[in-house]
């Protein structure tokens, strides 16, 4: 397995690197958060071991930024900060697991195995999963969306937003909940980013459908948005 270690403590990084190579893993080591983020972004790694306290960009930011780009590589956070708050912060930012230092190498291997198994199961499930709302069809295995049989192309963020709404049609999502689910943040950095993306989804879904007025994403004033299956013809 290709493992990326993002750890600024040289001794810890070397120890992990030697141990994992002995287990036949291919290891790459980055000593700053910035380098680690760039490397993880390239998509080569199958698993990332990520320290929290890093120069350049801390582990929480590395993790959040990767998730916001739609990169779902399994991330195991390693940290000497062991309070519940620290662990919760690590998992909230999108990490898959959190291991407190110092840890036994055997436990690290067991956690890595569990993460890879979970990832494989999720991938198999996604490959077989198709969401359908009205005449919109979203194949999660290929990330392909069609509307009334015509392919519609979306960016990774737009797909994440569409998936959220399509998983629970008729469920009302507040802007805060959408931000937290799709962007991994609690407050809106750009004040109206959710509205902008909803607008993009609507216009892309409405293209090529002049014959029907398809308001598939409904605004509930002051409360948020929901996916609807009503489609009214003129």
204-226 residue pLDDT tens: 988 766 555 456 899 998 889 99
Omega cis (within 30) before 208: no
Please give the pLDDT value at position 234.
Answer: 39
Q: Left, alpha or beta for 191 (phi > 0: left; psi -120 to 50: alpha)?
A: left
The residue segments making up the domain with residue 223 are 130-233
Q: State which residues of the chain have pLDDT below 70.
A: 82-83, 121-123, 125-127, 185-191, 208-215, 230-234
Please give the pLDDT value at position 230.
Answer: 60
Give the CATH number, domain containing residue 173: 1.10.10.10
Question: Would you say the pTM of this structure is higher than 0.85?
Answer: no
Residues 180 and 141 in one domain: yes
User: CA dist 86 to 42, 127, 219, Å?
Assistant: 27, 34, 36
Structural domains in the chain (count): 2
Residues 98 and 166 in one domain: no
Residues 7 and 119 in one domain: yes
Average pLDDT score over the chain: 85
């Amino acid at each position: 397995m290709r493992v990326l270690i993002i750890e600024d403590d040289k001794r810890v990084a070397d120890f992990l690197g030697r141990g994992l190579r002995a287990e036949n893993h291919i290891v790459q080591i980055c000593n700053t958060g910035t380098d680690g983020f760039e490397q993880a972004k390239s998509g080569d790694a199958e698993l990332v071991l990520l320290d929290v306290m890093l120069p350049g960009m801390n582990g929480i930011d590395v993790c959040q930024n990767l998730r916001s780009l739609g990169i779902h590589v399994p991330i195991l956070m390693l940290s000497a900060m062991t309070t519940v708050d620290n662990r919760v912060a690590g998992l909230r930012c999108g990490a898959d697991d959190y291991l407190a230092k110092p840890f036994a190498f055997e436990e690290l291997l067991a956690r890595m195995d569990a993460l890879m198994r979970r990832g494989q199961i999720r991938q198999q499930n996604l490959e077989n999963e198709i969401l359908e709302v009205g005449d919109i069809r979203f194949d999660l295995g290929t990330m392909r969306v069609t509307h009334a049989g015509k392919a519609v192309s979306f960016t990774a963020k737009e797909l994440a937003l569409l998936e959220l709404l399509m998983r629970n049609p008729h469920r009302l999502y507040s802007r805060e909940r959408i931000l937290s689910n799709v962007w991994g943040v609690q407050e809106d950095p750009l004040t109206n980013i959710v509205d902008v993306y909803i607008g993009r989804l609507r216009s892309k879904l409405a293209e090529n459908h002049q014959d029907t007025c398809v308001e598939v994403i409904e605004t509930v004033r002051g409360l948020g948005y929901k996916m609807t299956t009503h489609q009214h013809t003129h």
